[in-house]
Amino acid sequence: NAGVTQTPKFRILKIGQSMTLQCTQDMNHNYMYWYRQDPGMGLKLIYYSVGAGITDKGEVPNGYNVSRSTTEDFPLRLELAAPSQTSVYFCASYKGAGDQPQHFGDGTRLSIL
């Protein structure tokens, strides 16, 4: 199993540009999450999904959109990039049953200039 795979690993965007951060998992996990981590800070939840077709806002959803058309994929969309969105973005998945941990991807380092 590859686990949770995120692409790209690095990206530089100009203000106002759009992009999609990709996340896919091969563990057949029901739950998937997007977090952002600013330098020296903790994890802030952006959006999460408990299954295909279902998404919910987290703590900091403004400026982002998500979709979940399949169990495997959970892309994060930035429509109008702003400098405040410069961060490291982590995708995570979780089986959704019992006491199990989240599994994280390697992250996408995004800079908005």
Partner 1 sequence: GENVEQHPSTLSVQEGDSAVIKCTYSDSASNYFPWYKQELGKRPQLIIDIRSNVGEKKDQRIAVTLNKTAKHFSLHITETQPEDSAVYFCAASRGGGNQFYFGTGTSLTVIP
Sites of contact with partner 1 (CB under 8 A): 31, 33, 41-43, 45, 48, 50, 56, 58, 90, 94, 96-107
| Rounded Cα gap, residues 49 and 79, in angstroms | 20
| Rounded Cα gap, residues 100 and 91, in angstroms | 16
Nearer to partner 1, 41 or 80 (CB): 41
Two structure tokens written together for 1: 């199993």
Q: In whole angstroms, how close is the CB of 1 to partner 1 at the nearest point?
A: 15
Nearer to partner 1, 56 or 79 (CB): 56
Nearer to partner 1, 54 or 80 (CB): 54
Q: In whole angstroms, how close is the CB of 98 to partner 1 at the nearest point?
A: 6
Three-state SS at 82: coil
Q: In whole angstroms, how close is the CB of 77 to partner 1 at the nearest point?
A: 21
Contact 53, 71 (CB under 8 A): no
Q: How would you classify the pairing of strands 10-13 and 108-112?
A: parallel
